[in-house]
Amino acid sequence: MIATTNTTLEAPALDGRDYQVSALGTWNGATVTLQAYQDGEWRPVPDGAFTADFEVVRTNGPARLLRLVVTNAGGSTNLSLNITEVTQ
- The whole-number pLDDT of residue 63 equals 58
Contact 11, 26 (CB under 8 A): no
The residues pairing with 32 across neighbouring beta strands, listed in sequence order, are: 50, 70
pLDDT tens digits, 19-58: 899 999 999 999 999 998 888 899 898 899 999 999 999 8
Q: Which fold has domain 2-85?
A: Jelly Rolls (2.60.120)
What does pTM read for this prediction? 0.87
pLDDT band at 5 (very low <50, low <70, confident <90, very high): confident
- The whole-number pLDDT of residue 49 equals 96
Taking the domains of the chain in order of start, what are their residue ranges? 2-85
